[in-house]
Every structure is written in C-alpha cells, then in structure tokens.
Structure 1
Amino acid sequence: MKYFNLSALLLSLICIGCNTKNDMKEVEKPEESHSKIVTLTKAQYESVGIQLGGIELKNLREVVKANGYLKVPPQNQASISPLKGGIVKAIYIKVGDFVSAGQTLATLEHPDFIKMQEEYLTVKSNFTFLEKEYLRQKELNQENAGTVKIYQQTEANYRSERAKLTSLEKQLNMLFVSMDEISKGNMIAAVPIKSPIEGYVGRINANIGTFAQPEKPLFEVIDNRKIHVDIFVYEKDLFKVKVAQTVEFILTNQNNKLIQGAIFSISRAFENETKSVAVHAEIKNNNNLNLIHGMYVSALINVGEGKVSAVPQEAIVRTDGRDFIFVQTATTKEVSKKEDSSKEDKDEFSFEMTEVKTGITDLGFVEVTLLDQLPKDAKIAVKSTFFLLSKMKEGEGGDEH
C-alpha cells in the first residue's frame, strides 16, 4: 500500500513538472514580429504597376475644408451670335477644335447684306457730289459771292450724308465686310461669323441651312488655359482665410487627382442664401491637366503650419486589425549560384511591411505615426500595395525576420 502511494506521488510530481515546463515555454515564446519582407522580380514589379513615393509633410490639421468648382473668367469665354439674321451657308469648325481670335467659324447669307452694300455705294456716291458742292459753296461764301442760305443748306446736306456714310461703314465693318472690295464693285453675298477670342469650341447651335437669329448664340468658345477654382467658404471660417494662402484640392469625379493652388481674391458678398463667400484661387502648373470649366472640387485651405507625416491612402494596407506600409529595402542584382554564369542578372525589388498608426484622412492622404524610425529618404509603395500584401501572404509571406 505504501509502495502504491509513493508511486502515485512521484507520478503527480512528474506531471506537474511537465506542465510547468510547457507553461514556461509558452511564456518565453517571443512575440511574433510584424516586419516582413516581400520580394518581386522586375517582371512582377512592372506588370502590377507599383509606384514609389515618400512620406510627406501635409497640413491636415490647421485647414479649412471647402467645396467648389473650376471656373473660367468671363473675358475668356464667348457666346457668338450674328449681328443680323441670315441663313447658315457653311460651318468650318467642329466641337473641340482650337480656334484663333478672328478665325472664321461660319458664313451667313441674306438679301439684306446685299442691300446694305448697295446703300453704302449709293450714299458714298452722293457724298462725293455733296462734298464737292459744299467746298464750292464754302469758297463762294468766303468771297461773298454766294448766298448764305444756299451755303448753309449745302453744308447741312453734306454733314448728314457724311454721318450716313460713316454709319454704314461701321455696320459693314462689324459684319467683317471689306470696304476695299465693295469700293471695287465686288459685293459680298456671304458674311463671316468670327471668333472674338482664342480657345476651344465648346458648342455649336446651328446646321447648314438654318436661320440664325441675332439673339441666339451659334457658337461657344472657351479658353480653359485661364481656368481657376472657386471655393465656397462659410461664414464661420471666413476670418481664417486670406489672400496668398495655399490651397490643395482634388477633382471629385476625376480619380482624386491632387492639384496645388493659391488664393488671389476673396469675394465681398455672400452667394445667394448659402451664407458662403466665393474664394478665388489660381491653379499652379495646370499644363496637361485637361481641366474643364464646371468640374467639382474638394479643397483644403492651409490656414496654419500644423504639418504631419502623411502618405497616400493607397499606400496603407490593413490586415489583422492593424495598418501597414511597404518600405522599399533594396533593389538588387543577383546571379543564382545554381545557374550558369552566362545567364543575365536578375533584378529584384524588396519591400518590408512596416506597421504604422493612422490618423486624419483628407484629400487622399492619411496621417501616419511610424512605430519604427525610417530614413528620411525612404521610399514606400503608393500603388498596388494589396498585391504586395497578397504576395507576402503566399507561403506565409515569404521570409520573416
């Protein structure tokens, strides 16, 4: 009996010892690292469209948020109507064409155009006669050889005909009719419609054969090169906004493209009943942006210097309830020892998945706090980061450190 109790006691002590060792192993098990490496070949890197960027300093805190739209100043857009009604004979442009100031867009025909030229020639002929008669009567009057009444009547007729001639000349000039051609007897049947500004044709409201009326525009031409942004700021934020402050805005419906600008003018009146004021900002480096009048924008007006570290939203990946970025570690050229030395070098791109804490999100950027220090010139992946995440998870994410 004593032997049995002793055996049971020894067995219990052995079991307790084993459990204690297992518990110690679990306690001593090191915490799993969150830094992982994923390596891509040059072909993989290029095929998925990975783009590199840096961790930027962005003002996401001391800002005024506002919305608005792109606008072209009135002097850089034109609605073109005929001065006199007529039948559209020809149209020389199409929507989207770039036209120069003074370029002919279309021609109009109407009998009234011919009558105006006929009247001009008639008045010009009468004026030539009256001018000679006026000079003759003036000379006689100076020599007291003629009557004052005849001289005064001749002078009145001369001045009246001169005014009529001048009026017809200006009207025909407004119709772009050449006085030289008319004087030669070459009447013009079709008058041109010309663009007053250079720009792009935005709309055509006519067809060949239709009657063009003076009060209805035939063409719209707009010069988008002078485009700026109108941002509407509400009364509560108006005191923070000043001329020369920088603005960052994105095109709401255009893939969130980020554009820089600066305020050049602030309106002094509220917009209707919205209690907002229009703030006008010029666009910096707007070449090749294909900006169009009326595009909607979301903007941040920088009213302070509260800059934070930030990365594009696409640079952040979330997994296991945590946020990460992929930091480029190296671009190497390695020759496999197992292959023949005659084979070409192989480009490889390595990225380390590094955990960050995220904060404010605005205009496509996210505030980040780095848990590990990175070099100032560190490059991170800002496009196709989910491919890197999926590649890392294949086979437990490749090499772990």
Structure 2
Amino acid sequence: MKNIFIIIISFIVISCKKEIQESKTEIVLKENEVSLTDAQMKNANIETISMSEKSISSVLKINGKIDVPPQNLVSVSVPLGGYLRSTKLLPGMHVNKGEVIAVMEDQQYIQLQQDYLVSKAKLVYAEKESARQNDLNQSQASSDKVTQMAQAEVLSLRAMTNGLAEKLRLININPNTISASKISQKINILATINGFVSKVNVNIGKYISPSEVMFELINPTDIHLNIKVYEKDVAKLKIGQKIIAYTNAEPNKKHECEIILISKDVSADGTSEVHCHFEDYDKTLLPGMYMNAEVELNSSNSNTLPEESIINFEGKDYVYIEIANQKYQMIEVQIGEKENGFLQILNVIDLRNKKIVSQGAYTLLMKMKNTEEE
C-alpha cells in the first residue's frame, strides 16, 4: 500500500509539473504569436511557402472629367442683336450643320438691307457717271479733277456696298436675293456644326445683345477625358499610352482611351493635365461628367505572395511566419499591386528567407484571438 501511495503521489507531481510547464509555455508567447498543439496542427492543415519573384504590372489610379476642346464647343450669338421670335431648341437635342435653330427680328435688319440697296443703286449711277466723265476728259470737255472725283466716288460707294453686303452675310442674308420688294425683318440663326445642344440661355421675346450667348453646341466627335495627374507620376506617362476609364455610376462599364497630350505646366495643387481621346465615344458620356481612370504602367519583377497568405485585421494587412515548430508570429506587411492572384510585397526585408503561412492563416488568427480572450 505504501508503494502504491508513493506511485500515485509521483504521478500527481509529474502531472502538475507538466501543467506548470505548459502554462509557462503559454505565458512566454508574445501578443502577436500563437502556438498549436499536435491535434490543432493536424486539423489546421497549415502550409508554408517563401516569397517568389514575379512580373507585376503597376496600375496608376487617377480621375478627371469629360471635356470638350475649344474647336468643338460653339457659342451661338447674334452679331447685330435683336429679339428672339422663335426657337425649338432644348438641351440634349441633336442639330445638323446649316439647320435653322432660331429666328430673330429687329428693325435694324430692315435698315441694313435698305442701306445696302441704296448704296448699290448709287454705285450703279456713280459707275456710269465716272464712265461719262472719263469720255469727256478724253475729248478735253471735262477737267481731270472732275474725272478723278467721279472715280473716287465709285471707289467709295463700292467699298460701302461691299461692306454692307458682308454685314448682311454675317446675319445670314444673301445680298444677291434681296430687292426693293424683298426686304425682310427676320433673320435665321443657323447651326454651324453637327452635334447636340448643351445650353439654352434665352426665351421667346427676349432682346439678345451681340455679346450675349444664346446657345452652346457641342460636336461630340472629339470629346475627350481631361485627367489630373500629380507631378510625381507625370513622368510615368507617355503619348499613345492606353488607359481604362469608368464612371462611379457604372464602374463595370469600361471605356478605352489613349493619351494624346500631356501638359508641361504644374498647377498650384501640384497636378498636370493629361488629355485622352476615347477610342469609341459613348453618347451617354456628357461634358463635365467625372470619371475614374486606371493606367497600366510598365511591369517589373517584384517579391510576391499569394492572396491567401494575406489576412486583413483591424484595417491592416498581416502574414504569419513560422518561428519554431508549430509556433507562428503575425507580422504586418505593406502590399502593392495585385495581378493574377499574387500581391506585391513592399517590406521585403522583414520577410526575406522566412517560412510564410500560405494556407490556414485565418485559422491561426482565430486561435490567437481566442487565446487572448482566455
């Protein structure tokens, strides 16, 4: 009986020592470390790898808005002013070049036609008078002075008549079609491009001054994307480079563009303008609309890890490295670009020559958090 009692006491002491040792093992674990038992290791199915070098294309993310070059944006006004009699334009309507988009009326249009016809009639008389004085001068029946005055009168009236004719053409009146019996108080305003109406700033009956913009027309054939690029990234771009653009409303609908111009100026906010041409213009894209864009830069060899090895915890990215048998440490990582399921690792020195958990990282995270709670 005495021997049995000694054996039992020895077993209890050994068990207590084992528990104390295991307890001490748990205590020496740091906050960012976790240790697995044999049973836990078997169930966790942990696998480790090392960083591998792969070619990763970096993507520059930028934004901007749809713009129209000056030659494709037309402001319509009336050179001589007048009252708007009629128009059918509404923003978004399509117009064709030469189409009547508004009708104006004013008494000065009548006066201009009248002045032209009077000047034209005087010119006809002056030309005949000049020819008559020239004939008389040839026969010494008229002085040189009178002949020269007649010629000067012809030149003066011809300049006046031609000037009035150009003014008529400026308001879309053909001077060759008017006569004393065909004088109109109205003029037509014509569309000068094929495009659509961007703005309508007038209403029927309003007096329009020569400096006032009535309508704005846009030719969509050369609408482009104007993006803002920080000065540190400008050198990474070049003419002819392809970019992908998309709107916030339709992020999955991609629009291919090509860089056609890179500004050489840097604005006060540290950005330069880069102009891009749409490969296929989409009519749903309107001037002034904001867009996001992505530019794929030249690929380079980088140290990478598969996505499965990266865990995100409390807004930061981590990996687990093996520091001993069945013992792992959580280390924060800085990640860069992603391509084909691999992530670029920026803090390479911290992970070089380390065994990194590629499978079971989230299992280790759960075990570590449960241990902390206990």
Q: TM-score range by the shorter chain?
A: 0.5 to 0.7
Give the one of 253, 269, 274 matched to 2:269. Answer: 274
The alpha-carbon distance between structure 1 residues 30 and 277, as it changes in their structure 2 partners (threshold 3 A), is closer
SS at match of 2:263: strand
Corresponding letter in the other structure for 1:284: E
Matches of 2:253 and 2:174 in 1, distance apart? 49
Matches of 1:59 and 1:30 in 2, distance apart? 31
The alpha-carbon distance between structure 1 residues 136 and 305, as it changes in their structure 2 partners (threshold 3 A), is farther
Give the one of 82, 85, 93 matched to 1:86. Answer: 82
Contact 2:57 2:297 in 1 (8 A): no
Equivalent residue pairs, number: 281
Contact 1:229 1:283 in 2 (8 A): yes
Larger radius of gyration: 2
Q: How does 1:147-158 map to 2 (within 5 A)?
A: 147-158=143-154
Return the offset for 1:59. Answer: 7.0
Q: How does 1:299-338 map to 2 (within 5 A)?
A: 299-306=293-300
Equivalent in the alignment of 1:127 = 123
Matches of 1:103 and 1:175 in 2, distance apart? 14
Equivalent in the alignment of 2:286 = 292
Matches of 1:307 and 1:90 in 2, distance apart? 66
Contact 2:57 2:298 in 1 (8 A): no
Equivalent in the alignment of 1:259 = 255
Corresponding letter in the other structure for 2:175: M
Return the offset for 1:268. Answer: 2.2
The answer to whether 1:108 aligns with 2:101 is: no
Equivalent in the alignment of 2:21 = none
Equivalent in the alignment of 1:185 = 181
Contact 2:56 2:339 in 1 (8 A): no
Matches of 1:59 and 1:24 in 2, distance apart? 38
Give the one of 81, 97, 118 matched to 2:114. Answer: 118
Equivalent in the alignment of 2:234 = 238
Return the offset for 1:168. Answer: 0.6
Equivalent in the alignment of 2:278 = 283
Equivalent in the alignment of 2:363 = none
The alpha-carbon distance between structure 1 residues 230 and 307, as it changes in their structure 2 partners (threshold 3 A), is farther
Equivalent in the alignment of 1:43 = none
The alpha-carbon distance between structure 1 residues 248 and 138, as it changes in their structure 2 partners (threshold 3 A), is same
Equivalent in the alignment of 1:171 = 167
Matches of 1:238 and 1:246 in 2, distance apart? 15
Matches of 1:307 and 1:249 in 2, distance apart? 26
Contact 1:224 1:291 in 2 (8 A): no
Q: Deviations over 1:275-314 (max 9, x none)?
A: 322111111122x452111111222233313599xxxxxx
Corresponding letter in the other structure for 1:299: A
Equivalent in the alignment of 1:207 = 203
The alpha-carbon distance between structure 1 residues 215 and 256, as it changes in their structure 2 partners (threshold 3 A), is farther
The alpha-carbon distance between structure 1 residues 67 and 151, as it changes in their structure 2 partners (threshold 3 A), is same
Indicate the percent of aligned positions where both proteins have the same amino acid: 29
SS at match of 2:167: helix
The alpha-carbon distance between structure 1 residues 270 and 360, as it changes in their structure 2 partners (threshold 3 A), is closer
Further displaced range: 297-306 or 169-178 = 297-306
Matches of 1:59 and 1:225 in 2, distance apart? 36
Q: Which runs of 5+ in 1 are unaligned?
A: 2-22, 33-57, 309-319, 322-358, 371-401
Equivalent in the alignment of 2:243 = 247
Matches of 1:150 and 1:65 in 2, distance apart? 80
Further displaced range: 163-172 or 277-286 = 277-286
The alpha-carbon distance between structure 1 residues 360 and 285, as it changes in their structure 2 partners (threshold 3 A), is farther
Contact 1:253 1:296 in 2 (8 A): no
Q: How does 1:9-158 map to 2 (within 5 A)?
A: 61=58, 63-158=59-154
Contact 2:63 2:227 in 1 (8 A): yes
Further displaced range: 74-83 or 144-153 = 144-153
Q: Which runs of 5+ in 2 are unaligned?
A: 2-36, 47-54, 303-311, 314-334, 343-374
